[in-house]
Structure 1
Amino acid sequence: MNRQTHPLLSRRPFNEKGKVVTAEEAIELIRDGDAVATGGFVGIGFAEHLAVALEQRFLKTGQPRDLTLMYAAGQGDGKTRGLNHLGHEGLVAKVIGGHWGLVPALQKLAIEGRIQAWNLPQGVISHLFRDIAAGKPGTLTRVGLGTFVDPRLGGGKINDATVDERVTLLPINGEEYLFYPALPLQVALLRGTTADTLGNVTMEREALVLESLAIATAVRNSGGVVIVQVERVAERGTLHPKDVRIPGILVDCIVICDEPEHHWQTFSTAYNPAFSGEIKAPMAVPETLALSARKIIARRGAFELIPNSVVNLGIGMPEGISSVASEERILELLTLTAEPGVIGGLPAGGLNFGAALNTQAIIDQPAQFDFYDGGGLDIAFLGMAQVDAAGNVNVSKFGSRLAGAGGFINISQNARKVVFMGTFVATKEALAIIDGALRLPEGGMHKFITEVEHRTFSGQLAAADGKPVRYVTERCVFELTTAGIQLIEIAPGVDLDHDILALMDFTPLMPTPPRVMDERIFRTAPMGLRELLLELPLAQRFHFDEAADVLFINFENLKVTSPEDIATIRDTVEACLAPLGRKVYAVVNYDHFRIDESLLADYTAMVSDLEHRFYHRVTRYTTSSFMRRKLGHALEERAVAPHIYESAQEARQHLKEDEA
């Protein structure tokens, strides 16, 4: 790697203000053919003032030309700001980007084949900056296998004009890995809040710290020039060392942004101290969603949550999860995260995406992807634009539209569980909900197709790894199996043939008739999800005391709502006791136990069968006199001892009274 000092820097004396220069003076240091790295996430941390100065220099002088641009997260507003300033033919010749949806000016150059262009995973690029900084040959990872980034499926190339290889398949000890080679970087365009005259930079007003340190170190160690845009300058020696995010030894030029609109905290918010963790603001309550396709999908997705989960919410449809979680009073049971480095708090949306209110921590983006890639996410909720029979998902490229993968590949490949969310067909919403049943519009563009155009998620690899994967729509739910996707649920009011199978380009697996989605999803009232999540998992409700030869069953707060619940209880008891080959004693806690009246006969029949096969004697107890009468009468009809005690002490005391 070339580590020679930038030739223009060696001839350029600093002025009386140390490293402080104008934007125009700093941009003059960029030469034709330089590789430029930029930091930012949407508009957070993006050096807009420097990008404007670079665009103006090129439009005025035609220089610099043929730059290579490298960036991890999407940096733009989908219109004219951010990296759209660099979207001029001749200014850039090569672009390596993690997300393209927010930069239509660059996207147009790539789609039309006027530049060489790659879409690589956001987390990989953030790690590649760090590996370039450390002088490593590149980044070695499994991230991207089986997707369009895999060299067997395109190597991340966006067009036919792209000839250079940026990804190599590298088997190690029988395992497949992808190698992303390093490249020298000559220019860093970064942003902070305060700099001293030595170039030390803090980020106290920034919503994220991103990969700024990694980029600065990579460029410095490549012999390049590091330029940082800030709001203000302080005297040397006055910044607290723990607040410094980019040390002055890495920084060549400090540019004070004298146009406030070029240094907004996000592209939507000038400044919110709760985004930067300077204050704890009263927690905003997400807007309650109207009962629509989006809310139905978010509600069904929320049923996949478990308490104390670490969660990632993708942009778009998955953002509805936070609204549903707030309405159901379960936000505090979860830790929401975002890929640029936010842990905890309430993630923001729109052009504020990436920021969060009242976070627990804000770490740098490479460290967040260390956590994600290592399996730290319990569950991820992500969007889906196309799905095929193998369970592959496309969110990155559709015909001439290039969205890019962003952090999707890292997250979907490495989260322990993934829930993809989206409408069943692409159409303007016209569904109605009548008495809890859907009335659906006719037609719509198919999203469940024979083969996705661009493979952003590999169903085959996920199935081989045994990853739980669900595909949630407003009218049905699928799950991933090793044989493909299987239809497991259907919404009330939906016709299987007319509303689902006729609008798919393939027939999903259906080993059994799909069950009906929970009716609470389609009602306006809250679903009672908090109570459901706080219920003790069934597997943890059974404890066998071998020394006492007693099975303790805790049905406190359990609600039996379906025949499947009854079957699960029976199967759990059988799995626990059948291997013993003898009968045991049992004590059952029925405190706050609830069961639908229509299921009571089947439930007591199951209880009678278990008692006949596995128990010497069973005692039961509950503090509810109503439940003692209701369950007692039902047990008596099945010739099961009907007496139910009022306390656990009484139940245990009388358990072996016959032997006494």
Structure 2
Amino acid sequence: MISDYSVVAISGFNMITAPEYLIERLYKLYLKTGHPRKLFIISDTFPGAPGRGLDRIAKLIYERKDEDFIDGTLFPFYGWSESLQKMVREEWFDAYAWSIGIMAYWFREVGSGRPGVLTKVGLYTTADPRLDGTALNEKAMKMRRVKVHLINIDSQEYLLYTAPKPQFGLIRATTADEMGNLSLEDEAAYGTVLNIAQTIKAMPNKGINIVQVLRIARYGSLNPKDVEVPGPLIDYVVVSPREYHWQSSSFDYDPMVSGKIIPPLSREHIIQSELNHRKIIARRVLLELLELLKKSGRQIIVNLGVGIPATVADVAVEEEVQDLIVLTVESGTWGGKPLYGADFGASIGPFAIVSVPDQFTMYEGGIIDAASLGFMQVDRYGNVNSFIMPSRIPGPGGFPAIAVGSPQIFFAGEFTAGDKKIEVNNGKISILKDGEIIKFVNQVYKIGCSGKILTKSNKNALFVTERAVFQKVEDGIELKEIAPGIDLEKDILGKMEFKPIIRKEPDIMDPRIFNSKRMGLKEEALEAIKR
């Protein structure tokens, strides 16, 4: 059914809702017949994980040096596929990257008959058409198949994101009944499955939806409230072998991930992780969240990004405050223990799961209280590069929309990059070997979050590392704290391309962070709620 030069939308937040079997069959058909070829592929995040889904296909394509299957891509995330990143850098095709939130909204907007997404997300960043306009390579800069338009409304600047409407949708659910009604009861999240199906069926050219499921049910046996996608939107149903329908990257099925069971939490089940410099960063972020809880006097809602920010969840569980500091993930999960790595997006024991566009309403609208996001580079102006370097193109993920919307942002990351050896002993940090890559630079390679926007929106933005804490101020970034055992000149200023603002002697970071025992935050958090 899929013809050459088609635009194909594929669902997938990593392996969550990724139709791995359909992706495999599509590529095998191409290898057998030479068709379909020259496909422009769009995904709500990335349909795969290292060695699985689209990454496996990308590896085969790169090994074969076959440039005919993929003609272009629009993804929020490329990080799981080194082969796909190589193809982008080597200009095999035009490639673009939008935030997950923009991508999810785009499916909803195009499904509603509108031209695209109108938003302030991306202003003064690499998404802005005055810079890269979301293009990842020179071929994309020239072709501009995907466009971002700068629009002025009542003297306010906005961006309008537009892209080709897909004719085919490859999506995934758990069960389809005989009418094609779809339920996602075993999936880790809802993703953007419904919105992709709507986009395909929207005017002016109605396309074809093909869904991968685990099982077929009798018509009428699904509870109407469990139906995520109504059957009349679906054209073809394909039953997948179990091995192509895992819940997440590293496991087949866990009822605690699909929301069927919320496990009890007791002290016996809490495993205290090793104290290292990454945990120190996570602990410092959690202390900031605790202060926010104290000010609010209620539960707070928090987003955790990939990388070190995701490990804040481990520390929150260890300190038994995860029910007061409610952790959410871009995939749509609320509460529980978010997983990380290639399993990012799945959570153990969430108490609620919503769709991705609904989740990003929480983020972009500032409904959440705070977010912790990672960073690759920070410059003297407070600009943050979160997703692209000359040798790596992970993609923006959910970062841009969350950074714009969240009232408080705690950027979290290691102070330097590269091979390093850092020990934590006797309440102090010892840097035995430092990373050779400087992350605090004069000017970031690409802007993922604009320091200008952070200042203009008057956000509380901190940069938390294992050895220092900085705050975004109007005229740059200010050094606020250093870790015990750290030499200011040698370990901080000597490892930065610019000198931060230092108005007074920096405070010493909370000593509890550097102690192997739990910090004892539960009592403080409960006391704050009682007040």
Question: Shorter-normalised TM-score: what interval?
Answer: over 0.9
2:262 corresponds to which residue? 280
Find out whether 1:210 has 2:191 as its counterpart.
Answer: yes
Q: Which amino acid aligns with 2:460?
A: P
1:297 corresponds to which residue? 281
For these two proteins, the number of residue pairs brought into alignment is 510
Match for residue 184 of structure 1 among 165, 184, 192 = 165
2:209 corresponds to which residue? 226
Find out whether 1:475 has 2:467 as its counterpart.
Answer: yes
Change (3 A) 1:521 1:168: same
Find out whether 1:428 has 2:419 as its counterpart.
Answer: yes
Find out whether 1:365 has 2:356 as its counterpart.
Answer: yes
CA RMSD, Structure 1 to Structure 2 (Å): 1.8
8 A contact 1:86–1:92 mirrored in 2: no
Match for residue 456 of structure 1 among 412, 427, 448 = 448
Give the C-alpha shift of residue 224 in structure 1: 0.7
2:46 corresponds to which residue? 74
Query: What are the residue-to-residue correspondences of 1:25-40 with 2, within 5 Å?
Result: 29-40=1-12
1:157 corresponds to which residue? 135
Which of the pair has the greater relative contact order for Cα pairs under 8 Å at 6+ separation? 2
Query: What are the residue-to-residue correspondences of 1:11-410 with 2, within 5 Å?
Result: 29-85=1-57, 88=61, 89-162=67-140, 163-164=143-144, 165-221=146-202, 222-257=205-240, 259-283=241-265, 285=269, 287-305=271-289, 306-307=292-293, 308-410=299-401
Cα deviations across residues 482-521 of structure 1 (Å, max 9, x unaligned)? 1010000011121111111011000000111111111121
Match for residue 519 of structure 1 among 503, 511, 521 = 511
When normalised by structure 1's length, the TM-score is 0.75
Cα distance in 2 between the residues matched to 1:434 and 1:363: 43
Give the C-alpha shift of residue 141 in structure 1: 0.6
8 A contact 1:128–1:138 mirrored in 2: yes
Cα distance in 1 between the residues matched to 2:6 and 2:160: 23
Cα distance in 1 between the residues matched to 2:208 and 2:189: 23
1:548 corresponds to which residue? none
8 A contact 2:323–2:335 mirrored in 1: no
8 A contact 2:322–2:336 mirrored in 1: no
Q: Secondary structure at the match of 2:462?
A: strand
With 186-195 and 96-105 compared, the bigger mean Cα shift is at: 96-105
8 A contact 2:322–2:335 mirrored in 1: no
Cα deviations across residues 60-101 of structure 1 (Å, max 9, x unaligned)? 221111111111213221234335425632111111111110
Give the C-alpha shift of residue 385 in structure 1: 1.4
Give the C-alpha shift of residue 534 in structure 1: 4.4
Cα distance in 2 between the residues matched to 1:535 and 1:390: 38
Q: Which structure has the larger Rg?
A: 1
Change (3 A) 1:239 1:438: closer
1:584 corresponds to which residue? none
Change (3 A) 1:513 1:297: same
8 A contact 2:314–2:337 mirrored in 1: no
Q: Which amino acid aligns with 2:242?
A: P
Give the C-alpha shift of residue 149 in structure 1: 0.7
With 88-97 and 348-357 compared, the bigger mean Cα shift is at: 348-357
Change (3 A) 1:310 1:74: same
Give the C-alpha shift of residue 536 in structure 1: 4.9
Q: Which amino acid aligns with 2:109?
A: D
Give the C-alpha shift of residue 181 in structure 1: 1.9
2:407 corresponds to which residue? 416
Runs of 4+ in structure 1 over 3 Å off: 282-287, 531-537
8 A contact 1:371–1:377 mirrored in 2: yes
Q: Which amino acid aligns with 1:316?
A: G
Q: Secondary structure at the match of 2:259?
A: coil
Q: Secondary structure at the match of 1:189?
A: strand
Q: Secondary structure at the match of 1:398?
A: coil
8 A contact 2:58–2:81 mirrored in 1: no
Q: Which amino acid aligns with 1:208?
A: A
Segments of 5+ residues of structure 2 without an aligned counterpart are 62-66, 294-298
When normalised by structure 2's length, the TM-score is 0.92
Segments of 5+ residues of structure 1 without an aligned counterpart are 1-28, 542-660
Q: Secondary structure at the match of 2:103?
A: helix
Cα deviations across residues 107-132 of structure 1 (Å, max 9, x unaligned)? 22211111011011111011000111
Give the C-alpha shift of residue 400 in structure 1: 2.1
Q: Which amino acid aligns with 1:486?
A: E
Cα deviations across residues 237-281 of structure 1 (Å, max 9, x unaligned)? 222211111111100000011x21101111211111111112223
Cα distance in 2 between the residues matched to 1:287 and 1:100: 32
Identity level (%): 39
Cα deviations across residues 541-600 of structure 1 (Å, max 9, x unaligned)? 9xxxxxxxxxxxxxxxxxxxxxxxxxxxxxxxxxxxxxxxxxxxxxxxxxxxxxxxxxxx
Q: Which amino acid aligns with 1:355?
A: A
8 A contact 1:132–1:183 mirrored in 2: no
8 A contact 1:68–1:92 mirrored in 2: yes
8 A contact 1:392–1:457 mirrored in 2: yes
